[in-house]
Structure 1
Amino acid sequence: MSVPYSFIVLTHNEELHLRRFLESVADLNAPVFVIDSGSTDATLGIAQEFGVQVLYNTFINHPQQWDFALKTCPVQTPWVIGLDADQVVTPELKQRLLSFKDQDFAGVNGIYFNRKNFFKGRWIKHGGYYPFYLLKMFRYGIGYSDTTEKMDHRFVVPGKTEIWKDGHILEENLKENHISFWIDKHNRYSDLVAQQEVERMQSGAEFAEHPTPWGSPNERKAWFKKIWFKLPRYLRPTLYFTQRMIFQLGVLDGRTGIIFHFLQGFWFRLIVDVKIDELLKQQKHGDQTK
């Protein structure tokens, strides 16, 4: 019986991660598609070694790259699993996938995986980072990439979803062991997030999924984002960091974890707020010169 799902993974200079990912799913014997955006390291050689199909697309942002992948990959299975190159499938999750049968999930269009995130070799267990559910598996042709986002890519499916709490994907970007890489990456991300919020602020655009505190993980995230947008800039990073450190017990993650929560929960959000103000001032000055 053929495997009812295919994997898609995005790459750009992922020689540190791609072999690790492909080895974690090799026993599943599922089709794997790699969408590369111009790797110059050993990424493509590793993909060739494992016999996976590689497609190329110029990278604009993650949501658009996933949109290209879902519309272009010659997927022949009823389900697709979209993962990042720095993620791996754990043995427990692999067992769930080995026993997965399409007919057992009639009426279900998407499945959330539970993620464990690592920073500098440490599992970030607190501060709202675990459990952390990501919609990663969905019916092909039904799930899609939310291209209204610029940075924070997510898949969207209409209809019923299911959450797999046991079995995990592990996420650890080894490049981020060098803090300069993490800072440079998140500085670029802050540009996109600031642009996104200014556009949403001015257009009043709605979320792709209905924001509600009682819905799916994606719907709850949309609800939190809606609240976030209403909070005063510069105050909200402090509130968020306090929530993660105190109320969500981020302090229990130790020194490395506290550094992560500070950088991701405060520094990054503060930089976004600064850039939002810069964009608004640029627009104001531009209107005045017309």
Structure 2
Amino acid sequence: MGKNMINQHYSFIILTHDEEIHLPRLLNSICNLNAAVYILDSGSTDQTIPIAQQFGAQIRQFPFSNHPQQWHHALEHFDIRTPWVIGLDADQILSTELNQLLLDFKDKNYSNIDGIYFNRKNYFKGKWIRHGGYFPFYQLKMFRADKAISDLNEGMDHRFIVNGKTLIWEKGCLIEENLKENNISFWINKHNTYSNLLAKEEIERKLFLRKQILKPLFWGNPDQKRAWLKKLWWQMPLFVRPALYFSWRYIFRLGILDGYQGFLFHFLQGFWFRLIVDVKIREMTKNHEQN
């Protein structure tokens, strides 16, 4: 693709909030693709907006409530002119292999496809979390602009849904590393907020105020399989399930091989965070019964 040619196949949408540490890294990893970049910001007070402007991105601002709502707003309000959209988080970059796949991408070669799953490599405190079920990890990140929705029945985790045929790119990956999480206080504060959202979501599901849009299928696509596992999770007893989940990740899925950083990640994300959610579910339920 020539330097002066504007990419006619896909555009990027990126969510930001105080991402001056991450945004240059991401935008530099996609700038050779010559694609339009749309950024939905939720009130950054650092240099995020000036950095986005320097790279020629189109910017909108919208107050943050949760990630699914942010993505819904982005898909509804940006004037996308390409048939495909790639939705990225600010702390992600493209691997060299994934960049090449996108350089070679032509819409006509995917006429019967509506969505493409990218693999993801997750880093924590500078360490690739390779085990514990974290790699390979496929996310629907590229989809036809007129065929995708953000799943608003999710309270914290976000996912895109397309009704048509999807495929998985086995080669290449998104590299995800939130450098702000090198400060453990940031990680704890962030996940304390997330635990509120997740506890509230699970209570609402028990009250039938939320329902799964995506059909849970263990042998389905990656999102359908995760939906099946979530359904199983909701049926498990509180306080027992965090211990089972951590054991599954750390022992049976070999998270123990991820070293010191891996222990911290699997324990904090797989046990501590899930335990806090269960405690808050119990507290919220009691408050609701008393009122």
Alignment-mate amino acid for residue 100 of structure 1: F
- Match status 1:105 vs 2:118: no
Is 1:80 matched with 2:85?
A: yes
Match of 1:28 among 33, 41, 45: 33
Measured on the aligned residues, the alpha-carbon RMSD in Å equals: 0.9
Residues 15-60 of structure 1: per-residue CA shift (max 9 Å, x gap) = 0000000000000000000111111101111111111111111111
Deviates more, 1:147-156 or 1:170-179: 147-156
* Percent of aligned pairs sharing the same letter: 58
Contact 2:149–2:161 at 8 Å: present in 1 too?
A: yes
2: CA distance, partners of 1:237 / 1:97: 39
Partner of 2:244: 239
- What SS class does the counterpart of residue 134 from structure 1 fall into? strand
Q: How far apart are the structure 1 equivalents of 2:207 and 2:79?
A: 38
Describe the SS at the equivalent of 2:233: helix
Q: 1:50 aligns with which of 50, 55, 58?
A: 55
The answer on 1:202 being equivalent to 2:207 is: yes
Code of the aligned partner of 1:250: G
Name 1:227's counterpart in structure 2. 232
* C-alpha distance in 2 between matches for 1:258 and 1:213: 28
Aligned to 2:149: 144
Count of equivalent residues: 286
User: Structure 2-normalised TM-score?
Assistant: 0.97
Q: 2:286 corresponds to which residue?
A: 281
User: Structure 1 runs of 4+ off > 6 angstroms?
Assistant: none
* Structure 2 counterpart SS, 1:21: helix
Correspondence for 1:192 = 197
Over residues 156-184 of structure 1, what are the superposed CA-to-partner deviations in whole Å (9 max), with x where a residue is unaligned? Answer: 11121000111010000000000000000
Residues 123, 177 of structure 2: 8 Å contact kept: yes
- Give the distance between the partners of 1:99 and 1:20, measured in 2 at CA: 22
AA at the equivalent of 1:113: F
CA drift at 1:204: 6.6
Residue 173 of structure 2 corresponds to residue 172 of structure 1: no
Match of 1:135 among 137, 140, 153: 140
Q: Is the 8 A contact 1:3 1:29 kept in 2?
A: no
Tell me how far 1:241 sits from its aligned partner. 0.3
1:8–1:82 contact (8 Å) kept in structure 2: yes
More divergent stretch after superposition (204-213 vs 37-46): 204-213
Which consecutive residues of structure 1, in runs of 5 or more, have no partner in the other structure? none
Q: Does 1:118 pair with 2:123?
A: yes
Q: Which residue of 2 aligns with 1:37?
A: 42
Distance 1:59 1:204, change over 3 A: closer
- Alignment partners' CA distance in 1, 2:27 and 2:19: 12
* TM superposition shift of 1:100: 0.6
What is the identity, as a one-letter code, of the residue corresponding to 1:225?
K
* Native 8 Å contact 1:143 1:156 kept in 2: yes
Deviation at 1:205, TM superposition (A): 3.9
1:253 match: 258
Structure 2 unaligned runs (5+)? none
**2:9 counterpart of 1:4:** yes
Note if contact 2:64-2:70 (Cα within 8 Å) is conserved in structure 1.
Answer: yes
1:67 equivalent to 2:72? Answer yes
1:154 is the counterpart of 2:164:
no
Give per-residue Cα distances to partners, 1:237-266, cap 9 Å, x unaligned. Answer: 000000001110000000110110000000
Residue 3 of structure 1: how far off its partner (Å): 2.9
Supply the distance in 2 between the matched residues of 1:73 and 1:229 (Cα, whole angstroms).
35
Q: Distance in 2 between matches of 1:36 and 1:146?
A: 19
